[in-house]
C-alpha cells in the first residue's frame, strides 16, 4: 500500500491525545476536591469520637487539595494550547470537513477556568 502525503489518522490521534489529557486533568481536579474535603470529614469523625475538640489538620488537606485542583486545571489548559498548535500545523486535507479548531480549545479552556474557579471556592470556603 503506497503511503500518501495526507493521513487523517494523524488528526484523530491528536484528538485522542487531547481527550486523554482532558480526562487526566478532570481526574486530578476530582482528586483535589476529595483531598480538600477529606480534612473536614476527619475533623467531624474525631469530634464524634472524642468529647474534647481534636487538633485540626484541615488546612493541610485543603492546601493539598487546592494544589491538585490547580494542577488539573493547568493540565487541561496546557493540553488545549498544545493541541491547537499541533492541529494548526496539519495540512487542511488531514482535517475533517467543517471542523472547528476553536470549539475544542474553547471547551478545554472553559473546563480549565471552571477548575480554577473551584480552587478559588475551596480557598475561600476554608474554615
- pLDDT tens digit string along 65-83? 999 999 999 999 999 999 9
Domain count along the chain: 1
Do residues 59 and 39 lie in contact, with contact meaning Cβ atoms separated by under 8 Å?
yes
- Percent of the chain whose pLDDT exceeds 90: 57
| C-alpha distance from residue 69 to each of 14, 23, 37, 88, 100 (Å) | 25, 13, 12, 29, 28
- Mean confidence (pLDDT) of the chain: 87
Structural domain of 20: 8-124
In the predicted model, is pLDDT for residue 1 greater than 60? no
Residue with the three cell numbers 486533568: 25
Question: In this structure, is residue 51 part of a structural domain?
Answer: yes
Question: In this structure, is residue 1 part of a structural domain?
Answer: no
Question: In this structure, is residue 3 part of a structural domain?
Answer: no
Amino acid at each position: 500500500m503506497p503511503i500518501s502525503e495526507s493521513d487523517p489518522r494523524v488528526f484523530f490521534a491528536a484528538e485522542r491525545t487531547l481527550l486523554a489529557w482532558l480526562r487526566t486533568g478532570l481526574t486530578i481536579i476530582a482528586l483535589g476536591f476529595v483531598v480538600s474535603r477529606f480534612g473536614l470529614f476527619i475533623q467531624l469523625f474525631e469530634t464524634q469520637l472524642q468529647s474534647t475538640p481534636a487538633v485540626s489538620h484541615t488546612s493541610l488537606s485543603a492546601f493539598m487539595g487546592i494544589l491538585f485542583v490547580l494542577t488539573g486545571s493547568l493540565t487541561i489548559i496546557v493540553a488545549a494550547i498544545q493541541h491547537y498548535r499541533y492541529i494548526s500545523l496539519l495540512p487542511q486535507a488531514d482535517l475533517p470537513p467543517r471542523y472547528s479548531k476553536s470549539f475544542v480549545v474553547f471547551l478545554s479552556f472553559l473546563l480549565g477556568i471552571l477548575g480554577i474557579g473551584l480552587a478559588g471556592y475551596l480557598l475561600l470556603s476554608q474554615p
